[in-house]
Amino acid sequence: MSLVQNHFIGYFFHEKNDLWQTVISLRSSFSEAIYITDEHTISEAKTNLNDIQIEVMSSDDIALREQVVRAKPVISSLQDKIKEFLPEQLVIFIEMTWAVRTPSGDIYLREFHEAFQVFLTQFPTTIVCLYNESILLDEQLMLSLNSHPYIYAGNEYIENPYYLPPNILQKNQIKLRFNYRLNKLIPERKAFSNQIAEVSQEDKSDYPLQKTFSSPIAQTNEGRWKIRCLGELRIRRENGELIEWNTKAGSTRKLKTLFAFLLIRGDRGASTEELADLLWPNADSTDQAVNRLYHAIRYLRLILEGEKAEKQKSAFITHQGSHYYLRLPYDSWIDLPMFQELCFKGNQHLKENNLEQVKICYESAERLYTGDLFNDIPQKYIDNNENDWLWSKRFWYREMYHKLLYSLANINRQLGNLALSIKYCDKVLAEDPSLEAAHREKLLSLAASQRFDALHRQYRIYCESLKKFNLGQPSEDMRKLYLNLSRKN
């Protein structure tokens, strides 16, 4: 199939050589071309594109490196940029690794796909999104596969059978997806499915579908929430509004603990007695604790429902039998899976010595970690020998964070960024002064910087930290490393 204008094309790749060859091949079909880098530097892209006639620019130039990335300023920047190329046939290549750099990149990726498609209806332009499968997260790849009408593969671009239009992709309505895909296979059935679609949303709301309590999805029309668990618990509605925890009555910390506990328990829920014991372990009686729990549940529902609180039964805190369940709006974003997957992907690249890819994954994960898991939950609700619902998880995520910090130190040392390597070592040692892996990296970076006075001082600090925490003598590996580095003085 030959290339034509106003197409939204996805290209998925593993090898960089495939990327450059594909861009060079596609470029030849257009009068003008722009290449927007993110994973690569501008000079690296120009070198690998063999100086073909193509304007190379950074993702930073079109607002894709902002702390909060949204589609509107990016589209505005693109519009300004392409004015000098129109009315020539133009293709824009975009490296999509920006989507893992910040939470907003992940949260609003769907918004970008939709905005790009609207953009293409207004300008004679083709956009080719370039997805590095080894860096993009699994859900991002699946979303992107569903978002492109055409996919480039095997030296041609083909119609994508898994494509879903934005108005269907953004809704959690399986029937809409079913009708769209079956209509593509059986065009004559389209009239029938259109008749079914004429049933109004108001009529549907009178007879909501019943879902089992194993589903975490709330029966609500509210859009996706953005939930930050690392650091203080924060929830934003789809419009960006931050859910306010302060109420005229009810303890904010108790309500946050209640939400966090139910979130972690997921579709298992939590019993009335379990929640009452968590929040009021020293109550005079079980009845008193359960009564207090009922009030806490009521206040939590008011907080989560917002303006709708008095108009309908709670969609987010449900009760069945003796258990309470937390239900979230469809497609809600939670930071924990993204943090974990970035750490795992980075570790995979580290094993293959793909340092630049590791750096992207680990730096993105570091930005996500704004503090320990639910660090505003009071310790008294965590120290429970019979119900370790949070302590072990918090410790596990903290260990992952420390590992990525000294791994970033290692990577930057290998790349020659010695000051940054030392900075990462200091950051992790400020939290865990006895962590041997971080001391090791700092010794190596100081030696590489020819800072031998600091090297000797750092080894003494390491030895003193072991004494302070009763951890014995320096390990044989550390002692040998120090001696070898000292000889280079």
Instruction: Give bridge partners of residue 323 from the DSSP assignment.
Output: 271, 320
Q: Which residues contact 372 (CB under 8 A, 6 or more apart)?
A: 230, 231, 394, 397, 398
Q: Does residue 219 belong to any structural domain of this protein?
A: no
311 versus 181: the higher-pLDDT residue is 181
Shared domain check, 80 and 142: yes
Ramachandran assignment for 7, one of left (phi > 0), alpha (psi -120 to 50 degrees), beta (any other): beta
Confidence at residue 188, expressed as pLDDT on a 0 to 100 scale: 74
Confidence at residue 3, expressed as pLDDT on a 0 to 100 scale: 52
pLDDT confidence band for 423 (50 / 70 / 90): very high
User: Is 267 in a helix, a strand, or coil?
Assistant: helix
Q: Does residue 464 belong to any structural domain of this protein?
A: yes
| Domain at 276, CATH number | 1.10.10.10
Phi, psi (5° rounding) for residue 41? Answer: -80, 165
**201 pLDDT more than 90:** no
Counting residues of the chain whose pLDDT is more than 70, the rounded percentage is: 90
Instruction: Give bridge partners of residue 339 from the DSSP assignment.
Output: none
Q: Which of 39, 135, 132, 101 is nearest to 368 (CA)?
A: 101
Instruction: Give per-residue pLDDT as tens, 428-445.
Output: 999 999 999 999 999 999
Confidence at residue 197, expressed as pLDDT on a 0 to 100 scale: 47
CA distances from 309 to 15, 187, 206, 315, 316 (A): 52, 44, 18, 10, 11
Confidence at residue 250, expressed as pLDDT on a 0 to 100 scale: 59
Confidence at residue 226, expressed as pLDDT on a 0 to 100 scale: 95
Confidence at residue 204, expressed as pLDDT on a 0 to 100 scale: 37
Ranges 312-316, 389-393, 402-406: which has the least confidence: 312-316
The pLDDT of 107-124, averaged and rounded, is 92
Q: Which of 238, 254, 323 is nearest to 246 (CA)?
A: 254
Token code pair at residue 328:
């979230």
**205 pLDDT more than 60:** no
Amino acid at 77: S
DSSP state of 242: B
The pLDDT of 106-127, averaged and rounded, is 93
Q: Does residue 3 belong to any structural domain of this protein?
A: no
User: Is 215 in a helix, a strand, or coil?
Assistant: coil
Q: Does residue 117 belong to any structural domain of this protein?
A: yes
Final residue of a domain: which of 147, 169, 191? Answer: 169
Give the integer Cα–Cα distance in Å for 183 and 190: 5
Q: Does residue 66 belong to any structural domain of this protein?
A: yes
Token code pair at residue 349:
């690249």
CA distances from 420 to 186, 367, 426, 437 (A): 59, 15, 10, 16
Residue whose structure tokens are 């506990």: 261
**194 pLDDT more than 70:** no
Mean pLDDT estimate for the chain: 88
Confidence at residue 251, expressed as pLDDT on a 0 to 100 scale: 79
Q: What is the pTM of this model?
A: 0.84
**Among positive and negative, which fits the CA dihedral 473, 475, 479, 485?**
negative
Final residue of a domain: which of 333, 361, 381? Answer: 333
Token code pair at residue 170:
């953004």
Phi, psi (5° rounding) for residue 246? Answer: -70, 130
Give the integer Cα–Cα distance in Å for 199 and 207: 12
Shared domain check, 338 and 315: no
How much of the chain is in helix, strand and coil states, percent to nearest 5?
Answer: 55, 10, 35
Beta-carbon count within 10 A of 63 CB: 18
Instruction: Give per-residue pLDDT as tens, 29-88.
Output: 899 999 999 999 999 999 999 878 999 999 999 999 998 999 999 999 999 998 888 777
Instruction: Give per-residue pLDDT as tens, 322-347.
Output: 899 999 998 899 999 999 999 999 99
Ramachandran assignment for 383, one of left (phi > 0), alpha (psi -120 to 50 degrees), beta (any other): beta
Q: Does residue 212 belong to any structural domain of this protein?
A: no
How remote is the C-alpha of 331 from its chain's centroid? 13
Q: Which helix (H) or strand (E) holds 13?
A: strand 8-13
Residue span of the structural domain in which 71 resides: 8-169
Shared domain check, 341 and 314: no
Do 30 and 3 meet the contact criterion of CB atoms below 8 Å apart? yes
Token code pair at residue 28:
């030849």
| Domain at 460, CATH number | 1.25.40.10
Shared domain check, 306 and 376: no
Shared domain check, 145 and 43: yes
Q: Which helix (H) or strand (E) holds 202?
A: helix 201-206
Shared domain check, 436 and 418: yes
Shared domain check, 310 and 256: yes
Confidence at residue 213, expressed as pLDDT on a 0 to 100 scale: 33
325 versus 250: the higher-pLDDT residue is 325
Instruction: Give per-residue pLDDT as tens, 11-21.
Output: 999 999 999 99
Confidence at residue 209, expressed as pLDDT on a 0 to 100 scale: 32
pLDDT confidence band for 156 (50 / 70 / 90): confident
Q: Which of 332, 333, 336, 247 is nearest to 297 (CA)?
A: 247
Q: Which of 372, 185, 136, 365 is nearest to 260 (CA)?
A: 372
pLDDT confidence band for 308 (50 / 70 / 90): low
The pLDDT of 468-480, averaged and rounded, is 94
Give the integer Cα–Cα distance in Å for 92 and 55: 10
Shared domain check, 481 and 339: yes
Confidence at residue 260, expressed as pLDDT on a 0 to 100 scale: 96
Shared domain check, 464 and 345: yes
**122 pLDDT more than 60:** yes
Final residue of a domain: which of 333, 356, 384? Answer: 333
Shared domain check, 135 and 89: yes
The pLDDT of 272-280, averaged and rounded, is 93
Q: Does residue 460 belong to any structural domain of this protein?
A: yes
DSSP state of 83: T
123 versus 173: the higher-pLDDT residue is 123
Shared domain check, 29 and 159: yes
Confidence at residue 88, expressed as pLDDT on a 0 to 100 scale: 77
Q: Does residue 216 belong to any structural domain of this protein?
A: no
Shared domain check, 253 and 161: no
Confidence at residue 190, expressed as pLDDT on a 0 to 100 scale: 61
Number of domains in the chain: 4
Confidence at residue 312, expressed as pLDDT on a 0 to 100 scale: 54
Confidence at residue 179, expressed as pLDDT on a 0 to 100 scale: 83
